[in-house]
Structure 1
Amino acid sequence: MVDLILTEQYGSTQDIISFTQHGNEIVEVKPQKNFFKCIFSFTTFFREILLPYGYPQSVSDDYLEYQTWDTLQALCSTITGSFTMRAVLRGVGVGDSKATALSAALTWIMKEGAGMIGRIVFAWWKGSELDHNCKKWRFFADILNDAAMLIELCLPQFQQYSTEVLCVTSVMKSIVGIAGGATRASITYHQAIKDNVADISAKDGSQETVVNLIGSFASIFLLNYFTDSTSEWLLILSLIILHLYTNYMAVKSLVFKNFNNQRIAIVLKTFLTVGTVPSPSKVNSNEAILHGFDQTVKRICGFEIILGESISKPLKLYTVAELKQILSVYEQEKYLLLVHSEKRKIYVSFEHGENARDVIAAYFHAVLLAIATSIYNSTSLDIYSKRQLHHTTPIAIIHTFMNAYEKYIDDYRNIPFNYLIPFNKLVKQEFNMFVTALTVNGWSMGSHSMKVGEHRIDFKTHKAKLT
């Protein structure tokens, strides 16, 4: 009699090997090979070359869809780049007997130098924002890259300005390189659910190399086939449109489970008006990927929430007595909220060593405080319409709470100190419900991509000096 002891499988797609008992011996039993098994083994070999170790368990759920769209966009970009290279070479005088090697070399040196300066300046100017809005900058980089290639394609028509044009496009492409590379790193970190960032990055490089090879061979045929200007431009414009579409679909397929400023605004709006939290996939599908079209928290609460910046400006609006009272309200928290009513801003300052949960808690508290301040000053907000107030939702609870206190209808003022203590208790209750809903719906509170400045405060150590 043969008894099965255990089975073993490499990954989730390989054959299952059985270990059975044969008398007093352990016998290994492998599945029989056939034609289809051989084909499967062949495809498995290429999977191991191009896909991360342990795929699909070792990557995020959106990995395959994103990489598929990303592969298609890379193919379009490679082919378009071949036509661009031909146009650039014509523009700098290749094939022109009047052009000299020295002039071409000087043009190329100036072009590369402009690109280097562009990389340094852009990394300094926008480097810290690339993590906060990964999708936006990823798509922006692709739009800018296509714009640079379109300009270079027109270079043969403006040969007398070839140096200036190439310097401009070099700066544009340097921005593309910084934005694209940095956002790719964020995406790789998101995909690496088993701390396999290096493996995913290496396999992404292999995939890109294969695509570039295919695109290069295809370009050899296309460069010789499309010789007249009209057909060439029709092909190029078609490739650029396809490139932008595949990039758009790639970015939209990403499902980040942590918060940036836009995702938390979408989640908070739903939670406050409905009492539930939408799933990460739904929120990510509603996240805007073009600058200027995002959902801002100011549309929800009427205030701009500023995290980790200097509080020197709002402090000027408080007396010493008022500041003492405010500090006592937040003595159990790892953050401090200061309202600048005139500018419609709430400054959130953190103690040293805050974690992601502290940032989310402070942001949640600031949004609710902004809504309460608006209610106190009889300022209407779309978020607490009459229809919303007929249901037992967080926004209705806040509205009912503030209606129990006297409202202020003259100059815009902050909520009085004696209102804040019971209000903070309400905020804690609502935040606990919020955290529970986030956990149930698969959101991560272990990290965040929200924009937080570097200013930190210490108001507890010096409390005795203020009293």
Structure 2
Amino acid sequence: MFLEIMAPAYPFCFTMIVSISNLAKCIVSVAGGATRAALTVHQARRNNMADVSAKDGSQETLVNLAGLLVSLLMLPLVSGYASLSLGCFFLFTALHIYANYRAVRALVMETLNESRLELVLKQFLQRGKMLNPTAANQLEPLWTGFWPSVSLSLGVPLHRLISSVSELQRLVEGHQQPYLLSWNRTRNQVQVVLSPTAGPEAILRAAIHGLLFGALQEDGLLPRELAELRPLVRAGPEKNNWVLIRETHQVMDKLFPMFLKGLKAVGWKTDKHHLEVDEWRATWPGAAEKKDL
């Protein structure tokens, strides 16, 4: 909108400015549509998504109509005063952004995304307490620039993890989970291959397993089973990765059931999530047949 306002002041590149403005509107439209769909699903507590969407559309239409009437009243007052027009634009834009900020802060999502999961997991590992949805949503950062302690990629193709059958055997060794995991220490990146049978709880376990490597690199308090693995993390050589992954699988066998029980106890929904999961799936010998482990 600001570009459209400024476009007449630069007639030599008017077309380019307006084109960039329309491109920005398209990007915002896609992002806004995706966000609105997620919020509509969140608000449809009785599986009444169509009803919630219809009421949301009705309210937006009413607000747009009220805005049109106000703008018709204000237009004669600001016409011919460029500085006054820009002042009104910046004022109402600031109010609009602030209102959106307050609205998002008021939301309490009971499903876990990566940032909420990391906050809850850190609190559980360091203090033995479970953050409820309200507390975790208040702590979740809204702005870009929030970098997790480890880069987590779920649902990657199998060839990113292994290059030989022997590597696959080492990854599969010692567990029956419907996912395979690898940690690249140089890039601080955890990549997870998922089985076709991996359900929401199995994906949640894989995400927690990946985030454990970030917790192992930090100096905070950890349960004894995890604290004992810190020497392996700080040893450095990549050859220790296979041992570390096998050991963390054993820790997860004890940790995950308690963590999952705690999540349900404080009101988190574990039958679905907002974790970013790619569509790649792979099958390997010995993969668990259960959908949720």
| Other-structure match for 1:184 | 36
The answer to whether 1:335 aligns with 2:179 is yes
The answer to whether 1:366 aligns with 2:210 is yes
Range with greater deviation from structure 2 (433-442 or 229-238): 229-238
| Other-structure match for 2:130 | 277
Shift in CA distance, 367/437, structure 1 to aligned 2, threshold 3 Å:
same
Deviation at 1:436, TM superposition (A): 1.5
2:168 and 2:196 map into 1 onto residues whose CA distance is 20
Q: In structure 2, the residue corresponding to 1:448 is in which secondary structure?
A: coil
Instruction: State how many pairs are aligned.
Output: 287
| Other-structure match for 2:120 | 267
Counterpart of 2:100 (choices 233, 243, 247) is: 247
2:69 and 2:245 map into 1 onto residues whose CA distance is 68
For the 8 Å contact 1:188–1:200, the answer to whether it is kept is: yes
The answer to whether 1:165 aligns with 2:20 is no
Deviation at 1:248, TM superposition (A): 1.1
Q: In structure 1, the residue corresponding to 2:61 is in which secondary structure?
A: helix
Deviation at 1:407, TM superposition (A): 8.2
Deviations 1:186-206 (A, max 9, x none): 110111011111111111111
Q: In structure 2, the residue corresponding to 1:193 is in which secondary structure?
A: coil
Q: In structure 2, the residue corresponding to 1:305 is in which secondary structure?
A: strand
Identical-residue share of aligned pairs (%): 29
Shift in CA distance, 277/163, structure 1 to aligned 2, threshold 3 Å:
same
Deviation at 1:322, TM superposition (A): 4.9
Deviation at 1:237, TM superposition (A): 1.4
2:234 and 2:69 map into 1 onto residues whose CA distance is 72
| Other-structure match for 1:307 | 154
Tell me the TM-score normalized by structure 2.
0.88
Shift in CA distance, 218/256, structure 1 to aligned 2, threshold 3 Å:
same
2:233 and 2:59 map into 1 onto residues whose CA distance is 62
| Other-structure match for 1:47 | none
| Other-structure match for 2:268 | 443
Describe how 1:21-420 pairs up with structure 2 within 5 A: 149-227=1-79, 228-292=81-145, 294-298=146-150, 304-316=151-163, 320-330=165-175, 332-368=176-212, 371=215, 381-382=218-219, 384=220, 388=221, 395-402=222-229, 409=235, 411-415=237-241, 417=243
Alignment-mate amino acid for residue 308 of structure 1: G
| Other-structure match for 2:291 | none
Deviation at 1:416, TM superposition (A): 5.2
For the 8 Å contact 1:339–1:345, the answer to whether it is kept is: yes
For the 8 Å contact 1:192–1:200, the answer to whether it is kept is: yes
Alignment-mate amino acid for residue 324 of structure 1: Q
Q: In structure 1, the residue corresponding to 2:45 is in which secondary structure?
A: coil
For the 8 Å contact 2:149–2:215, the answer to whether it is kept is: no
Q: More relative contact order in 1 or in 2 (CA 8 Å, sep 6+)? A: 2
Deviations 1:252-289 (A, max 9, x none): 21111111111111111111111111111121122222
Alignment-mate amino acid for residue 310 of structure 1: P
Deviation at 1:150, TM superposition (A): 0.9
Q: In structure 2, the residue corresponding to 1:278 is in which secondary structure?
A: coil
Deviation at 1:371, TM superposition (A): 4.9
Range with greater deviation from structure 2 (221-230 or 319-328): 319-328
Unaligned runs of 5+ in 2: 288-293
For the 8 Å contact 1:259–1:450, the answer to whether it is kept is: yes
| Other-structure match for 2:250 | 425
Find the structure with the greater CA-based Rg: 1
Deviation at 1:328, TM superposition (A): 2.8
Q: In structure 2, the residue corresponding to 1:154 is in which secondary structure?
A: helix
Deviations 1:328-371 (A, max 9, x none): 323x2111122333433222111103221111111112233565
Alignment-mate amino acid for residue 153 of structure 1: I
Unaligned runs of 5+ in 1: 1-148, 299-303, 375-380, 389-394, 463-467
Deviations 1:102-131 (A, max 9, x none): xxxxxxxxxxxxxxxxxxxxxxxxxxxxxx
Q: In structure 1, the residue corresponding to 2:182 is in which secondary structure?
A: strand
Alignment-mate amino acid for residue 440 of structure 1: A
| Other-structure match for 1:465 | none
For the 8 Å contact 1:341–1:413, the answer to whether it is kept is: no
Tell me the TM-score normalized by structure 1.
0.57
1:461 and 1:411 map into 2 onto residues whose CA distance is 28
